[in-house]
Amino acid sequence: MYHKKLTAALAIAVLGSTSTIALADEPGADWITFEQAMEKAKAAGYTELHSLEVDDKSWEGKGLKADGKKYEFQMEGTTGKITLDEED
């Protein structure tokens, strides 16, 4: 549990956000890491994450992009490929 809290604190610092990052379920053994999922979201244009969690077979999250609008996204758990990226 300490590792998850430390990782969430690091995520907030990296993205410059004061939002809470949440982990729900546990990712599978062959999944990309939480940190890699954050990097994929950042590469997709997210400047601030409000949530990032595991749900079934994907990482799911919400956050802001550079345009200031709220979006939600999903990415495959094993590859990090964005499968949903739409305005919330």
The CATH number of the domain where 58 resides is what? Answer: 3.10.450.40
Distance between CA atoms of residues 57 and 9, nearest Å: 24
Number of domains in the chain: 1
In tens, the pLDDT along 10-69 reads 454 455 554 555 555 889 889 999 999 999 999 999 999 999 999 988 999 999 999 999
The domain in which residue 60 lies consists of: 2-87
Taking each continuous run of H as one helix and of E as one strand, the counts in the chain are: 2, 4
Is the overall model pTM greater than 0.85, yes or no?
A: no
